[in-house]
Amino acid sequence: MESTLNPHPGAIAAALAVLAVLAPAHAAERTLRLDPAASHVDFTLDATLHKAEGKIPVREGEIRFDLETGHASGRIVLDARGATTDNKGRDEKMHEQVLESARFPEIVFVPTEAHGSLDPSGAGSVSLTGTISIHGADHPFTVTAQVKTEGEKLSAAGSFMIPYVKWGMKDPSVFVLRVAKEVEVHIEAVGSL
């Protein structure tokens, strides 16, 4: 009769085999904590005879990702109320009529998938797929960034288009001034792993 205090050698081997399979998945998961002060989001909106350029502050961000399994989680939060183009009249219109930032103060990206690779030097390309919540609605979203790691520091840069009119925000075009229906966004994220 076997004692319940002494596990069967086969059970120990099975447990070690399970741990050996699970360990690489957990070891490959990394957590990126963004530095909001060092990270920035810029945008450009084409209009008749000019371009409106601006920025949106990064409030916070943490992403957990595993390029081996493709799993990602976490969130990046932008402060919609802090968006600015350094033009008072244009900014008032942007906040009151387009972003409606008093009602929708945050823009949040929640990743669910991560794909890409990093070479031995720490450089590579990574795509995050998930949901972006903006102006009170959720939209499927993918962003691809060029990534560089140096020790525990990570920097990433990427650009994408936001079809803000299609996503339910007001078109700021008026009689003579015509504005593009998509805004180009460029993100430079800096953080620690």
Q: Which H or E run contains 24?
A: helix 9-28
Q: Token digits for 137?
A: 């609605």
pLDDT at 47: 87
Q: How far, in Å, CA of 123 to CA of 19, rounded?
A: 30
What is the distance in angstroms between the CA of the first residue and the CA of the last residue of the chain?
51
In order along its 193 residues, the chain shows pLDDT tens digits of 444 444 555 444 444 444 444 434 344 899 999 999 999 999 999 988 889 999 999 999 999 999 999 999 999 999 999 999 999 999 999 999 999 999 999 999 999 999 999 888 889 999 999 999 999 999 999 999 999 999 899 999 999 999 999 999 999 888 788 999 999 999 999 999 8
Whole-number Å distance between alpha carbons of 26 and 42: 34
What's the Cα-to-Cα distance from 68 to each of 7, 27, 65, 136, 157, rounded to whole Å? 33, 10, 9, 33, 21
Phi/psi for 74 (5° steps) reads 110, -160
- pLDDT at residue 118 in the model: 84
What's the pLDDT score for residue 135? Answer: 97
For strand 106-118 and strand 30-34, is the pairing parallel, antiparallel, or unpaired? unpaired
Which residue segments constitute the domains of the chain, with CATH numbers given?
Answer: 29-192 (2.40.128.110)
Residue-level pLDDT at 163 = 97
Pairwise CA distance, residues 78 & 76, whole Å:
7
The rounded distance, in Å, linking the Cα atoms of 58 and 76 is 8
